[in-house]
Structure 1
Protein backbone atom coordinates (compact mmCIF):
# COMPACT_ATOMS: atom_id res chain seq x y z
CA UNK A 1 0.00 0.00 0.00
CA UNK A 2 1.40 3.40 -0.93
CA UNK A 3 1.60 6.16 1.68
CA UNK A 4 -0.67 8.57 -0.17
CA UNK A 5 -1.49 10.23 3.16
CA UNK A 6 2.09 11.38 3.70
CA UNK A 7 1.91 14.50 1.48
CA UNK A 8 5.13 16.53 0.89
CA UNK A 9 6.37 17.56 -2.54
CA UNK A 10 9.93 17.43 -3.85
CA UNK A 11 9.86 21.22 -4.24
CA UNK A 12 9.26 21.63 -0.51
CA UNK A 13 12.17 19.33 0.25
CA UNK A 14 14.52 21.46 -1.80
CA UNK A 15 13.70 24.38 0.48
CA UNK A 16 14.92 22.60 3.59
CA UNK A 17 18.07 21.34 1.89
CA UNK A 18 18.80 24.79 0.51
CA UNK A 19 18.27 26.44 3.87
CA UNK A 20 20.65 24.00 5.51
CA UNK A 21 23.35 24.40 2.88
CA UNK A 22 23.03 28.19 3.04
CA UNK A 23 24.09 28.25 6.66
CA UNK A 24 27.68 29.38 7.03
CA UNK A 25 30.17 27.71 9.34
CA UNK A 26 30.39 30.86 11.44
CA UNK A 27 30.34 30.72 15.21
CA UNK A 28 27.13 29.07 16.27
CA UNK A 29 24.56 30.90 18.34
CA UNK A 30 24.17 29.02 21.62
CA UNK A 31 20.87 27.20 21.82
CA UNK A 32 18.44 28.47 24.42
CA UNK A 33 18.69 26.76 27.75
CA UNK A 34 16.41 23.76 27.82
CA UNK A 35 13.57 23.68 30.27
CA UNK A 36 13.66 20.98 32.94
CA UNK A 37 12.25 17.66 31.83
CA UNK A 38 8.63 17.06 32.65
CA UNK A 39 8.12 15.72 36.14
CA UNK A 40 7.13 12.11 36.31
CA UNK A 41 8.27 11.35 32.75
CA UNK A 42 8.92 7.64 32.14
CA UNK A 43 12.59 6.73 32.56
CA UNK A 44 14.37 6.42 29.23
CA UNK A 45 11.54 8.05 27.29
CA UNK A 46 12.08 11.20 25.27
CA UNK A 47 9.72 13.97 26.38
CA UNK A 48 8.88 17.21 24.56
CA UNK A 49 11.02 20.09 25.79
CA UNK A 50 10.52 23.11 23.56
CA UNK A 51 11.80 22.90 20.00
CA UNK A 52 13.15 19.86 18.19
CA UNK A 53 16.71 20.97 18.96
CA UNK A 54 16.18 21.67 22.67
CA UNK A 55 14.18 18.46 23.12
CA UNK A 56 17.02 16.36 21.72
CA UNK A 57 19.70 18.34 23.54
CA UNK A 58 18.00 18.14 26.94
CA UNK A 59 17.39 14.41 26.81
CA UNK A 60 20.97 13.23 27.18
CA UNK A 61 20.23 10.17 25.01
CA UNK A 62 21.11 11.81 21.68
CA UNK A 63 24.47 13.44 22.40
CA UNK A 64 26.24 12.04 19.34
CA UNK A 65 23.38 12.92 17.00
CA UNK A 66 23.24 16.46 18.43
CA UNK A 67 27.03 16.81 18.10
CA UNK A 68 26.76 15.76 14.46
CA UNK A 69 23.99 18.32 13.85
CA UNK A 70 26.12 21.01 15.50
CA UNK A 71 29.14 20.09 13.37
CA UNK A 72 27.30 20.92 10.14
CA UNK A 73 25.09 23.76 11.42
CA UNK A 74 21.84 21.80 11.27
CA UNK A 75 20.92 22.28 14.93
CA UNK A 76 19.81 25.83 14.02
CA UNK A 77 17.49 24.37 11.40
CA UNK A 78 15.85 22.16 14.02
CA UNK A 79 15.67 25.12 16.38
CA UNK A 80 13.99 27.59 14.04
CA UNK A 81 12.22 25.79 11.18
CA UNK A 82 8.57 24.81 11.65
CA UNK A 83 6.73 21.68 10.59
CA UNK A 84 9.56 19.13 10.46
CA UNK A 85 9.77 15.43 11.26
CA UNK A 86 13.08 14.08 12.61
CA UNK A 87 14.13 10.44 12.96
CA UNK A 88 16.58 10.57 15.86
CA UNK A 89 19.05 7.73 16.55
CA UNK A 90 20.02 7.22 20.18
CA UNK A 91 23.64 7.25 21.33
CA UNK A 92 23.58 3.44 21.26
CA UNK A 93 22.57 3.58 17.59
CA UNK A 94 25.01 6.39 16.71
CA UNK A 95 28.26 5.83 18.61
CA UNK A 96 30.89 8.58 18.86
CA UNK A 97 33.31 6.41 16.89
CA UNK A 98 30.93 6.50 13.93
CA UNK A 99 30.75 10.29 14.10
CA UNK A 100 34.55 10.56 14.28
CA UNK A 101 34.78 8.64 11.01
CA UNK A 102 32.19 10.85 9.31
CA UNK A 103 33.11 14.34 10.50
CA UNK A 104 36.10 14.66 8.15
CA UNK A 105 33.76 15.26 5.20
CA UNK A 106 31.21 17.77 6.47
CA UNK A 107 29.41 18.06 3.14
CA UNK A 108 28.75 14.32 3.12
CA UNK A 109 27.86 14.38 6.83
CA UNK A 110 25.32 17.14 6.27
CA UNK A 111 23.67 15.23 3.43
CA UNK A 112 23.61 12.12 5.61
CA UNK A 113 21.87 13.96 8.44
CA UNK A 114 19.36 15.63 6.09
CA UNK A 115 18.16 12.11 5.24
CA UNK A 116 16.80 11.98 8.82
CA UNK A 117 14.59 15.04 8.27
CA UNK A 118 11.26 15.34 6.42
CA UNK A 119 9.86 18.76 5.61
CA UNK A 120 6.36 17.90 6.89
CA UNK A 121 4.77 16.66 10.08
CA UNK A 122 4.41 12.89 9.78
CA UNK A 123 2.97 11.31 12.90
CA UNK A 124 2.43 7.60 13.47
CA UNK A 125 -1.20 7.71 12.34
CA UNK A 126 0.06 8.49 8.84
CA UNK A 127 2.48 5.56 8.93
CA UNK A 128 0.38 2.78 10.48
CA UNK A 129 -1.21 0.50 7.96
CA UNK A 130 0.74 1.92 5.04
CA UNK A 131 4.11 1.53 3.34
CA UNK A 132 5.95 3.76 0.90
CA UNK A 133 8.67 6.35 0.24
CA UNK A 134 8.81 10.01 1.19
CA UNK A 135 11.33 12.66 0.07
CA UNK A 136 13.84 13.82 2.68
CA UNK A 137 15.86 16.97 3.19
CA UNK A 138 18.76 15.27 1.39
CA UNK A 139 16.73 15.03 -1.81
CA UNK A 140 16.52 11.24 -1.62
CA UNK A 141 13.76 9.06 -0.13
CA UNK A 142 13.11 7.40 3.19
CA UNK A 143 10.88 4.31 3.18
CA UNK A 144 8.33 4.29 6.00
CA UNK A 145 6.63 1.00 6.78
CA UNK A 146 3.66 0.63 9.09
CA UNK A 147 2.40 -2.65 7.69
CA UNK A 148 3.58 -4.67 10.71
CA UNK A 149 3.34 -4.24 14.48
CA UNK A 150 6.68 -2.37 14.66
CA UNK A 151 6.89 0.84 12.62
CA UNK A 152 10.03 1.17 10.54
CA UNK A 153 12.02 3.89 8.80
CA UNK A 154 14.33 2.40 6.18
CA UNK A 155 16.22 -0.33 8.03
CA UNK A 156 15.56 1.03 11.56
CA UNK A 157 12.77 0.33 14.04
CA UNK A 158 10.87 3.29 15.46
CA UNK A 159 11.16 2.57 19.19
CA UNK A 160 9.30 5.70 20.32
CA UNK A 161 6.95 7.60 18.04
CA UNK A 162 5.24 10.97 18.16
CA UNK A 163 7.35 13.11 20.47
CA UNK A 164 5.61 16.43 19.80
CA UNK A 165 8.10 19.29 20.01
CA UNK A 166 6.92 22.87 19.50
CA UNK A 167 8.02 22.94 15.85
CA UNK A 168 7.73 19.34 14.75
CA UNK A 169 7.75 15.64 15.54
CA UNK A 170 10.55 13.33 16.67
CA UNK A 171 10.52 9.57 16.12
CA UNK A 172 13.25 7.74 18.07
CA UNK A 173 15.00 5.00 16.07
CA UNK A 174 17.33 2.18 17.07
CA UNK A 175 19.80 2.24 14.16
CA UNK A 176 21.48 4.59 11.72
CA UNK A 177 19.45 4.93 8.55
CA UNK A 178 20.84 3.39 5.38
CA UNK A 179 19.25 4.96 2.27
CA UNK A 180 18.26 2.30 -0.24
CA UNK A 181 18.47 -0.49 2.34
CA UNK A 182 14.88 -1.52 1.66
CA UNK A 183 13.00 -1.34 -1.65
CA UNK A 184 10.63 1.58 -2.11
CA UNK A 185 7.98 -0.78 -3.40
CA UNK A 186 7.48 -4.45 -2.74
CA UNK A 187 7.57 -6.86 -5.69
CA UNK A 188 4.24 -8.11 -6.92
CA UNK A 189 3.45 -11.62 -5.68
CA UNK A 190 3.82 -14.25 -8.40
CA UNK A 191 0.60 -15.04 -10.23
CA UNK A 192 -1.03 -18.25 -9.08
CA UNK A 193 -0.52 -21.07 -11.56
CA UNK A 194 -3.68 -22.35 -13.18
CA UNK A 195 -4.73 -25.75 -11.87
CA UNK A 196 -4.35 -28.47 -14.48
CA UNK A 197 -7.61 -29.49 -16.13
CA UNK A 198 -8.95 -32.84 -14.88
CA UNK A 199 -8.09 -35.72 -17.14
CA UNK A 200 -10.90 -37.03 -19.30
CA UNK A 201 -12.17 -40.45 -18.21
CA UNK A 202 -10.69 -43.30 -20.16
CA UNK A 203 -12.92 -44.66 -22.90
CA UNK A 204 -14.26 -48.17 -22.18
CA UNK A 205 -12.66 -50.95 -24.23
CA UNK A 206 -14.65 -51.91 -27.38
CA UNK A 207 -16.99 -54.85 -26.97
CA UNK A 208 -16.20 -58.06 -28.84
CA UNK A 209 -18.71 -58.78 -31.62
CA UNK A 210 -21.43 -61.25 -30.58
CA UNK A 211 -21.12 -64.76 -32.07
CA UNK A 212 -23.92 -65.92 -34.34
CA UNK A 213 -25.82 -68.99 -33.11
CA UNK A 214 -25.64 -72.04 -35.38
Structure 2
Protein backbone atom coordinates (compact mmCIF):
# COMPACT_ATOMS: atom_id res chain seq x y z
CA UNK A 1 0.00 0.00 0.00
CA UNK A 2 1.32 3.43 -0.89
CA UNK A 3 2.57 5.33 2.12
CA UNK A 4 0.64 8.55 1.47
CA UNK A 5 -2.63 6.64 1.01
CA UNK A 6 -2.07 4.84 4.30
CA UNK A 7 -1.61 8.17 6.10
CA UNK A 8 -4.52 9.78 4.30
CA UNK A 9 -6.94 7.05 5.35
CA UNK A 10 -5.42 6.78 8.83
CA UNK A 11 -5.10 2.99 8.54
CA UNK A 12 -3.71 1.44 11.76
CA UNK A 13 -0.38 -0.38 11.51
CA UNK A 14 -1.58 -3.70 12.94
CA UNK A 15 -0.55 -7.27 12.17
CA UNK A 16 -2.47 -10.51 12.43
CA UNK A 17 -1.76 -12.53 15.57
CA UNK A 18 1.16 -14.94 15.16
CA UNK A 19 -0.18 -17.50 17.60
CA UNK A 20 0.29 -21.20 16.82
CA UNK A 21 -1.51 -24.34 17.98
CA UNK A 22 0.73 -27.42 17.98
CA UNK A 23 -0.06 -31.12 18.07
CA UNK A 24 0.71 -31.12 21.78
CA UNK A 25 -1.82 -28.30 22.28
CA UNK A 26 -4.37 -30.35 20.35
CA UNK A 27 -3.81 -33.34 22.65
CA UNK A 28 -4.19 -31.10 25.71
CA UNK A 29 -7.49 -29.69 24.47
CA UNK A 30 -8.83 -33.11 23.44
CA UNK A 31 -7.92 -34.54 26.84
CA UNK A 32 -9.65 -31.65 28.60
CA UNK A 33 -12.76 -32.15 26.45
CA UNK A 34 -13.11 -35.81 27.38
CA UNK A 35 -11.61 -36.01 30.88
CA UNK A 36 -12.12 -32.64 32.58
CA UNK A 37 -14.68 -30.53 30.73
CA UNK A 38 -17.79 -29.95 32.83
CA UNK A 39 -19.52 -27.82 30.20
CA UNK A 40 -23.09 -28.93 29.45
CA UNK A 41 -23.46 -29.19 25.68
CA UNK A 42 -26.86 -28.32 24.28
CA UNK A 43 -28.95 -30.27 21.81
CA UNK A 44 -31.09 -33.38 21.77
CA UNK A 45 -27.98 -35.53 22.14
CA UNK A 46 -25.35 -33.43 23.94
CA UNK A 47 -22.70 -36.16 23.76
CA UNK A 48 -22.96 -36.10 19.97
CA UNK A 49 -21.96 -32.43 20.12
CA UNK A 50 -18.85 -33.46 22.04
CA UNK A 51 -17.95 -36.12 19.46
CA UNK A 52 -18.62 -33.68 16.59
CA UNK A 53 -16.32 -31.12 18.19
CA UNK A 54 -13.49 -33.66 18.43
CA UNK A 55 -13.97 -34.75 14.82
CA UNK A 56 -14.07 -31.12 13.67
CA UNK A 57 -10.83 -30.24 15.43
CA UNK A 58 -9.03 -33.13 13.77
CA UNK A 59 -10.45 -32.29 10.34
CA UNK A 60 -9.28 -28.70 10.54
CA UNK A 61 -5.88 -29.37 12.07
CA UNK A 62 -4.95 -32.29 9.80
CA UNK A 63 -6.22 -30.90 6.49
CA UNK A 64 -5.72 -27.70 4.53
CA UNK A 65 -9.46 -27.28 3.84
CA UNK A 66 -11.06 -24.01 4.87
CA UNK A 67 -13.54 -24.08 7.73
CA UNK A 68 -16.57 -23.63 5.50
CA UNK A 69 -15.44 -26.40 3.15
CA UNK A 70 -15.56 -28.93 5.97
CA UNK A 71 -18.72 -27.79 7.75
CA UNK A 72 -20.90 -26.45 4.97
CA UNK A 73 -19.93 -28.05 1.65
CA UNK A 74 -21.74 -31.35 2.29
CA UNK A 75 -25.05 -29.51 2.27
CA UNK A 76 -24.43 -28.41 -1.33
CA UNK A 77 -23.65 -31.75 -2.95
CA UNK A 78 -27.00 -31.95 -4.75
CA UNK A 79 -26.48 -28.51 -6.27
CA UNK A 80 -22.98 -29.49 -7.37
CA UNK A 81 -24.32 -32.57 -9.14
CA UNK A 82 -26.99 -30.52 -10.94
CA UNK A 83 -24.33 -28.30 -12.47
CA UNK A 84 -22.99 -31.33 -14.31
CA UNK A 85 -19.73 -31.84 -16.13
CA UNK A 86 -19.03 -28.18 -16.85
CA UNK A 87 -18.27 -27.50 -13.20
CA UNK A 88 -16.12 -30.62 -12.96
CA UNK A 89 -14.14 -29.42 -15.98
CA UNK A 90 -13.57 -26.05 -14.31
CA UNK A 91 -12.36 -27.80 -11.16
CA UNK A 92 -9.99 -29.93 -13.21
CA UNK A 93 -8.53 -26.88 -14.95
CA UNK A 94 -8.11 -25.14 -11.60
CA UNK A 95 -6.33 -28.19 -10.17
CA UNK A 96 -3.95 -28.32 -13.14
CA UNK A 97 -3.18 -24.60 -12.81
CA UNK A 98 -2.55 -24.98 -9.08
CA UNK A 99 -0.24 -27.94 -9.62
CA UNK A 100 1.79 -26.05 -12.21
CA UNK A 101 1.92 -22.95 -10.03
CA UNK A 102 3.22 -24.92 -7.07
CA UNK A 103 5.67 -26.84 -9.25
CA UNK A 104 4.26 -30.14 -8.03
CA UNK A 105 4.00 -31.51 -11.55
CA UNK A 106 7.81 -31.70 -11.66
CA UNK A 107 8.06 -33.72 -8.46
CA UNK A 108 8.05 -37.46 -7.93
CA UNK A 109 5.36 -38.89 -5.65
CA UNK A 110 7.93 -39.41 -2.89
CA UNK A 111 8.85 -35.71 -3.01
CA UNK A 112 5.37 -34.34 -2.51
CA UNK A 113 4.87 -32.57 0.84
CA UNK A 114 3.05 -34.14 3.75
CA UNK A 115 0.89 -32.00 6.03
CA UNK A 116 2.98 -30.95 9.01
CA UNK A 117 0.38 -31.96 11.56
CA UNK A 118 0.12 -35.46 10.11
CA UNK A 119 3.64 -36.56 9.22
CA UNK A 120 4.65 -37.47 12.78
CA UNK A 121 1.76 -39.90 13.15
CA UNK A 122 1.83 -41.91 9.92
CA UNK A 123 2.81 -45.11 11.74
CA UNK A 124 1.55 -44.87 15.31
CA UNK A 125 -1.26 -42.37 15.79
CA UNK A 126 -2.72 -41.88 19.28
CA UNK A 127 -6.42 -42.75 19.33
CA UNK A 128 -7.29 -39.26 20.53
CA UNK A 129 -5.76 -37.86 17.31
CA UNK A 130 -7.30 -40.44 15.01
CA UNK A 131 -10.31 -39.11 13.11
CA UNK A 132 -11.88 -42.58 12.87
CA UNK A 133 -12.19 -42.68 16.67
CA UNK A 134 -14.87 -40.01 16.37
CA UNK A 135 -16.14 -40.37 12.80
CA UNK A 136 -17.17 -44.02 13.12
CA UNK A 137 -19.52 -43.41 16.09
CA UNK A 138 -21.08 -40.41 14.32
CA UNK A 139 -21.74 -42.38 11.14
CA UNK A 140 -22.87 -45.44 13.08
CA UNK A 141 -25.40 -43.40 15.07
CA UNK A 142 -26.81 -42.15 11.76
CA UNK A 143 -27.11 -45.76 10.49
CA UNK A 144 -24.94 -44.70 7.57
CA UNK A 145 -23.25 -48.04 6.85
CA UNK A 146 -24.84 -50.47 4.44
CA UNK A 147 -23.39 -53.67 5.89
CA UNK A 148 -22.75 -52.79 9.56
CA UNK A 149 -25.13 -51.76 12.32
CA UNK A 150 -22.52 -50.54 14.80
CA UNK A 151 -18.91 -49.47 15.23
CA UNK A 152 -18.36 -52.65 17.25
CA UNK A 153 -19.23 -54.79 14.24
CA UNK A 154 -16.69 -52.91 12.12
CA UNK A 155 -13.94 -53.33 14.72
CA UNK A 156 -14.73 -57.05 15.07
CA UNK A 157 -14.42 -57.38 11.30
CA UNK A 158 -11.09 -55.53 11.35
CA UNK A 159 -9.74 -57.88 14.02
CA UNK A 160 -10.84 -60.89 11.98
CA UNK A 161 -9.20 -59.61 8.80
CA UNK A 162 -6.04 -58.53 10.63
CA UNK A 163 -5.46 -62.14 11.68
CA UNK A 164 -5.23 -63.15 8.00
CA UNK A 165 -2.56 -60.61 7.06
CA UNK A 166 1.15 -61.29 6.97
CA UNK A 167 3.49 -58.92 8.79
CA UNK A 168 4.35 -55.98 6.57
CA UNK A 169 1.28 -56.34 4.35
CA UNK A 170 -0.06 -52.98 3.24
CA UNK A 171 -3.22 -53.41 1.22
CA UNK A 172 -6.94 -52.74 1.23
CA UNK A 173 -8.73 -55.67 2.83
CA UNK A 174 -12.29 -54.35 3.16
CA UNK A 175 -14.52 -51.68 1.65
CA UNK A 176 -17.11 -50.03 3.90
CA UNK A 177 -20.14 -49.00 1.86
CA UNK A 178 -22.51 -46.19 2.80
CA UNK A 179 -26.25 -46.30 2.23
CA UNK A 180 -27.22 -44.28 -0.87
CA UNK A 181 -29.81 -42.21 1.02
CA UNK A 182 -27.17 -40.92 3.44
CA UNK A 183 -24.85 -39.34 0.87
CA UNK A 184 -26.57 -35.93 0.71
CA UNK A 185 -27.01 -35.52 4.47
CA UNK A 186 -24.43 -33.42 6.36
CA UNK A 187 -22.60 -35.02 9.28
CA UNK A 188 -22.43 -31.76 11.23
CA UNK A 189 -26.04 -30.69 11.65
CA UNK A 190 -27.85 -28.04 13.75
CA UNK A 191 -28.54 -29.05 17.34
CA UNK A 192 -32.27 -29.50 16.72
CA UNK A 193 -31.49 -31.90 13.84
CA UNK A 194 -29.00 -34.19 15.55
CA UNK A 195 -31.49 -37.02 15.15
CA UNK A 196 -31.05 -37.88 11.48
CA UNK A 197 -34.78 -38.56 11.17
CA UNK A 198 -35.36 -34.82 11.73
CA UNK A 199 -32.78 -33.52 9.27
CA UNK A 200 -33.78 -30.92 6.68
CA UNK A 201 -30.45 -31.15 4.86
CA UNK A 202 -28.98 -28.15 6.64
CA UNK A 203 -25.47 -28.20 8.05
CA UNK A 204 -24.19 -26.42 11.12
CA UNK A 205 -22.36 -23.22 10.18
CA UNK A 206 -18.60 -22.87 10.33
CA UNK A 207 -18.93 -19.94 12.75
CA UNK A 208 -20.58 -22.24 15.27
CA UNK A 209 -17.49 -24.45 15.30
CA UNK A 210 -15.16 -21.47 15.65
CA UNK A 211 -17.02 -20.29 18.75
CA UNK A 212 -17.07 -23.79 20.31
CA UNK A 213 -13.35 -24.24 19.55
CA UNK A 214 -12.42 -20.92 21.15
CA UNK A 215 -14.63 -21.54 24.20
CA UNK A 216 -13.12 -25.00 24.72
CA UNK A 217 -9.64 -23.49 24.60
CA UNK A 218 -10.61 -20.96 27.26
CA UNK A 219 -11.91 -23.73 29.53
CA UNK A 220 -8.71 -25.71 28.92
CA UNK A 221 -6.63 -22.79 30.19
CA UNK A 222 -5.60 -20.96 27.01
CA UNK A 223 -5.85 -17.20 27.65
CA UNK A 224 -6.38 -16.28 23.98
CA UNK A 225 -8.93 -17.73 21.60
CA UNK A 226 -7.52 -20.73 19.74
CA UNK A 227 -8.30 -20.72 16.04
CA UNK A 228 -8.03 -22.94 12.98
CA UNK A 229 -5.56 -20.42 11.60
CA UNK A 230 -3.27 -21.16 14.54
CA UNK A 231 -3.31 -24.88 13.63
CA UNK A 232 -2.30 -24.07 10.06
CA UNK A 233 0.44 -21.71 11.19
CA UNK A 234 1.97 -24.41 13.41
CA UNK A 235 1.96 -26.88 10.51
CA UNK A 236 3.58 -24.35 8.17
CA UNK A 237 6.25 -23.51 10.74
CA UNK A 238 7.18 -27.19 11.00
CA UNK A 239 7.09 -27.69 7.23
CA UNK A 240 9.40 -24.72 6.76
TM-score where L is the length of structure 2? 0.21
Q: Which has the larger share of helix? A: 2
**Higher RCO (CA < 8 A, seq sep 6+):** 2
Q: Which has the larger share of strand? A: 1
